[in-house]
Amino acid sequence: IAENQLNIDSINRLTGRISLKQPQTNPRACVEMSVSGKPLNIIGMRKKFMEISQETGIDISFHVDNIYRKNRKLVVFDMDSTLIQAEVIVELAKLVGAGREVDRITEAAMRGEMDFSQSFRKRVALLKGIRQEQLAKVSEDLPLTDGADLVTKTLKGLGYKLGILSGGFTFVGEYLKEKLGFDYMFA
């Protein structure tokens, strides 16, 4: 920030305070920093933020502070490997003994050997025979990404509407919507 001759006007903690007396199982925090001035090299600054983010494992979001930013009150999340630490289709495939085949098809799609919809149809076809109660169990057993519950509670407390947009399965999206208090879910 200093390299770009910007001044820090304020630093606000958006999450609640972390107790110094009790050990924390997930000591995550969200901080908003307001700066003033015009960056000398905005591209270089964004690149540096990306490097810092990758080195430290923290997320950095840079926004121009204007009327359009202040009025935003919707945050949307992806589901697989974002809110949850898994790919639902892989977990379902494991139930029917098709985990390796689903992985093989996914890898072929990632290499560009087939398009997404073709690979998705092939992977879903391998899930034949899954029972309704197994779907509910998979939803309940999916591991949340560390901090997902904290960030959603914090955003809700700040008045944001939350949504899930996913190319995944509706039953898992609905489960997460209810569990985490989301307002919208489209899968």
Paired residues of 84 in beta bridges = 80, 144
- Do 44 and 99 lie in a common domain? no
**Tens-place pLDDT, residues 28-49:** 777 888 888 889 999 999 999 9
In a domain, 13, yes or no: yes
Q: Is the pLDDT of residue 20 over 90?
A: no
Q: Is the pLDDT of residue 27 over 80?
A: no
For CA atoms 103, 105, 109, 115, the dihedral sign is negative
How many domains is the chain built from?
2
Q: Is the pLDDT of residue 14 over 70?
A: yes
- Do 89 and 162 lie in a common domain? yes
- Do 50 and 91 lie in a common domain? no
Among residues 14, 47, 66, the one where a domain terminates is: 66
Cα atoms in the Cβ-side hemisphere of radius 13 Å centred on 13: 6
What range defines the domain where residue 11 resides? Answer: 2-66
**Tens-place pLDDT, residues 34-88:** 888 889 999 999 999 999 888 887 888 887 777 666 667 899 999 998 999 999 9
- Do 94 and 140 lie in a common domain? yes
Its pTM stands at: 0.63
Residues noted as catalytic: 78, 80
Phi first, then psi: give them for residue 109, nearest 5 degrees.
-65, -40
Whole-angstrom CA distances from 51 to 57, 64, 66, 81, 87 are: 10, 20, 26, 21, 27
